[in-house]
Structure 1
Amino acid sequence: MQSSYVPELPNAADNPGRCTMTERGRVVVPGILTVIATVAAVYFSGVVLAPVACALFIIAVLWPIQSRLEARLHRVFALAIVAALLFGTFVVFMSVVTLSFGRIGRSLAMDAGQFQLLYNRLAEWLGGHGIALAGFWADNLDSRLLLRALQGISARLNTMVSFWLVVLLYVILGLLEVSDLGARIRRLTDDNAARIISGFELAASRIRRYLLIRTIMSAATGIAVWALATAFGLRFAAEWGIVAFTLNYIPFIGPAFATILPTCYALAQFQSPQSALIVFACLSTAQFIIGSYIEPRVAGNTLGISPSLVLFSVFLWTFLWGIFGAFIGVPITIAVLSFCAQFASTRWLAELLGKETIMDGA
């Protein structure tokens, strides 16, 4: 008769280290899966969540004005004044930007012959080295490709207009409901109500501070570009400064265009690749010093978050939501850390990614 062998199960008391690792795995693995699921949900729901996030960002900026006006006027009249202020600021800003881009665009159209001459020189030089540039364009560019590109640009413009219309609707409705929402939260008997109110106030204060820092750094970038363009004798120096100021609100992507466009114009104006390279090097240096060195440190020290986290936030939210994510990625991170600092279970995350002195004193 065969005897069946039953293996002896290990006793947890005999190996406490293995038990501890097992318990950690039961906590860590679900946590990792939760983070992955959350990121995936945010990515696929960007069409719905991105307008809401942008609207909350604008509400946080405008609410101090709205609350002061509500203390003296009816809520509807206060909202009308704030909406008119927002619309007027947007119109003035876009008018200046459109005028600058228009003047530069007309000048580029007038210099089309210069670009054609540069193209012919480049094609001749590449042809001497066995590279047929004309054949490359003929093989890779046709009317259908250009038509698809124009259709893509048109679709993006329509999407952007629809996006900002939805954001505007959320802003108007949100400003009307902020006071009522705050009153409902304060009526809650739970201790978390005070923490929620404190989190909202802290996040809004830091977001306004972030926008101020972003505006100052964008202005510094615009002044630097204007000064360099003036020093090099580049035409439309003031317009290039305005373009740099505007595009700098879009982290990394905007400064890249604000550097490449003046470089192309310098190539057409000076007819010298060496001069264009010097312009490119100087503009890139200014953009790097202000955008990648000064601004992350100023934002980190003022807002209580790590400079590396500022850069990571931009890349993460750009990946999730594109251009809109690049614009509001840092404010979202600021809001998340502000709420984490209010609760004991998540305060460690705010202290790990931020600076304790600013967390306590903000």
Structure 2
Amino acid sequence: MKTPVAVPSSSVSRNAVALIATVAAGAALYWLRDILTPLAMAIFLLIMIDGVKRSVEARTPLGHRWAGIAALTLVVLAFFASIAIIVNGAAGFFGEASGVSQNLGPRIDQIIRDGYALFRLDNPPTAQDLVNGVDVRGWLTTLAFQVQGIASGAFFVLVYLGFLLASQAGFRKKIVTMFPQKAQRDEAVAVFERVRGGVEGYIWVQSVTGAMICVVAWGLMRAVGLQNAEFWTFVIFVVGFIPVLGGAVAGLAPPLFALVQFESYWPAAILLVGLQLILFVVGNFIQPRMQGDNQNIDPVVVLLALAFCGKMWGVAGMFLSTPLAVMAMAILAEFRGSRWMAVLLSGDGQPYAEEKAATRHRAGPEPTADT
């Protein structure tokens, strides 16, 4: 009979306390979601402004102050432009779709009949039969509340952003007061740099790869004649920041609308194959090379973070799920009691890029075909 492995009681108690604290923090985040959601979005925008400011300062003759003003102006204008594009684009989308909606019922009936005939099934339902089982009024009411929540949420995001910018000037003094010893202060700054670098890297990678996908998607939609291709292009770019679900929406929504708009199935098939191809190439070849060590997150953690943040904070939480996971891994790795959680969150068991470099240095160069 083998002797059981002795686990120090201090480790058990420390891990239990860390687990209980994590559950309690999750409950608090859910309970305070109405307050914390716009605050999280404001912090996200603040990190974007800081990254744009440093980029403008490095590439232009503008000083520190004017570079900050230029970055703030660019990010706020982009924020308002995104909201305007969503509202006006949606209005134009439904307006241009009015001609399609006149034949919507018969077209859906035809699609259902063709699908049943393809699989040799009998008694296909009609579009009216499907609609009768859906609470359209309740769905529209929910949609109206969602739109109202987006408008009010955008206002509170800007309010929080203004206060964060006002308090940013005293942040360095607070760091000095909190960590009077230089070694501790350098360590705290290093944690902040890791968090900021991970979030900025995520934004950069998603923006560049999203732009690549949008260029190809816009060309395909214009080639087949899909209505309001510009609106769909913007939707594809925005949902690209939502892991897993974003790719599904980008690859399926335009082909589904093409099924209704066109009498032939070929435009929808072209869009489906083309979008899935570009999503596969970007997601499996281009994006991993660009990510590097910025997003060393386990794919299961990405999925769980998406579900957890979506449950807590809705659509805004889905957008912030991956940056929040990056931030959590960087912070948890700094404490001995919670470092094991950072290791579990990481993709290869090494939360920090410098640890990976040190491991490669100790292991020596990788063998080649000639050795």
Q: TM-score when scaled to structure 2?
A: 0.75
Q: Cα–Cα, structure 1 residues 311 and 223, in superposed 2: closer, same or farther, change >3 Å?
A: farther
Whether contact under 8 Å (1:50, 1:321) holds in the other structure is yes
Instruction: Answer yes or no: is 1:196 the counterpart of 2:188.
Output: yes
Comparing 40-49 with 158-167, which one deviates more in the overlay? 40-49
Residues in 2 aligned to 1:230 and 1:287: alpha-carbon distance in whole angstroms: 18
Q: Please give the root-mean-square deviation of Cα atoms over the aligned residues, in Å.
A: 3.7
SS in 1 for 2:35: helix
- Partner of residue 111 from structure 1, selected from 74, 77, 100: 100
- Partner of residue 143 from structure 2, selected from 136, 149, 153: 153
Q: Cα–Cα, structure 1 residues 306 and 79, in superposed 2: closer, same or farther, change >3 Å?
A: closer
SS in 1 for 2:142: helix
Comparing 25-34 with 206-215, which one deviates more in the overlay? 25-34
Shift of 1:216: 0.6
SS in 1 for 2:102: helix
SS in 2 for 1:162: helix
Aligned to 1:221: 213
- Partner of residue 358 from structure 1, selected from 353, 356, 362: 353
Q: Whose Rg is larger?
A: 1
- Partner of residue 136 from structure 1, selected from 129, 133, 136: 129
Partner AA of 2:80 in structure 1: V
SS in 1 for 2:97: helix
Shift of 1:16: 7.4
Comparing 25-34 with 211-220, which one deviates more in the overlay? 25-34
Q: TM-score when scaled to structure 1?
A: 0.76
Q: Deviations over 1:263-319 (max 9, x none)?
A: 13321343134653453344234334434x347624652405135244443333223
Q: Cα–Cα, structure 1 residues 198 and 320, in superposed 2: closer, same or farther, change >3 Å?
A: same
Q: Deviations over 1:179-230 (max 9, x none)?
A: 3022121133255333222212331232122111110111112122123334
Structure 1 residue runs without a partner (length 5+): 1-14
Aligned to 1:10: none
Aligned to 1:305: 296
Whether contact under 8 Å (2:259, 2:268) holds in the other structure is yes
SS in 2 for 1:129: coil
Aligned to 1:8: none
Partner AA of 1:223 in structure 2: V
Q: Deviations over 1:224-251 (max 9, x none)?
A: 2123334545455455333322332333
Q: Deviations over 1:133-184 (max 9, x none)?
A: 367357535xxx4332222112112222222222211111111112302212
Residues in 2 aligned to 1:46 and 1:312: alpha-carbon distance in whole angstroms: 18
Aligned to 1:162: 152
- Structure with more of its chain in helix, by fraction: 1
Partner AA of 1:178 in structure 2: Q
Q: Deviations over 1:19-78 (max 9, x none)?
A: 5487765555444433333333323332222222221111112125568678446xxxx8
Q: Deviations over 1:108-148 (max 9, x none)?
A: 2112233233134357677993355367357535xxx4332
* 1:18-33 correspondence runs (5 A): 20=7, 25-33=12-20
Residues in 2 aligned to 1:61 and 1:179: alpha-carbon distance in whole angstroms: 17
Q: Cα–Cα, structure 1 residues 64 and 183, in superposed 2: closer, same or farther, change >3 Å?
A: farther
Comparing 349-358 with 215-224, which one deviates more in the overlay? 349-358
Residues in 1 aligned to 2:333 and 2:9: alpha-carbon distance in whole angstroms: 30
Q: Cα–Cα, structure 1 residues 299 and 33, in superposed 2: closer, same or farther, change >3 Å?
A: farther
Percent of aligned pairs sharing the same letter: 19
Residues in 2 aligned to 1:134 and 1:306: alpha-carbon distance in whole angstroms: 43
Residues in 1 aligned to 2:352 and 2:75: alpha-carbon distance in whole angstroms: 34
Aligned to 2:35: 48
Comparing 273-282 with 108-117, which one deviates more in the overlay? 273-282
Aligned length: 339
